[in-house]
Amino acid sequence: MADSARIDKWLWTVRLYKTRSLATDACKSGKIKLEGQSIKPARELKVGDEIFVNQNPLMKKVKVLAFPPNRLSAKLVPEYMEDLTTPEEYDRVKHLRETNMEFRPHGIGRPTKKHRRLIDKLKDDDNNEDW
pLDDT per position as a tens digit, 30-65: 999 999 999 999 999 999 999 999 998 899 999 999
Contact between 15 and 72 under an 8 Å Cβ cutoff? The reply is: yes
- Residue 62 CB neighbour total at 10 angstroms: 21
Q: H or E element: which one contains 87?
A: helix 87-99
Domain at 47, CATH number:
3.10.290.10
105 within domain boundaries:
no
Q: How many domains does the chain have?
A: 1
11 within domain boundaries:
yes
15 within domain boundaries:
yes
107 within domain boundaries:
no
pTM of the model: 0.74
Domain that holds residue 8: 4-86
Q: What is the per-residue pLDDT for 131? A: 37
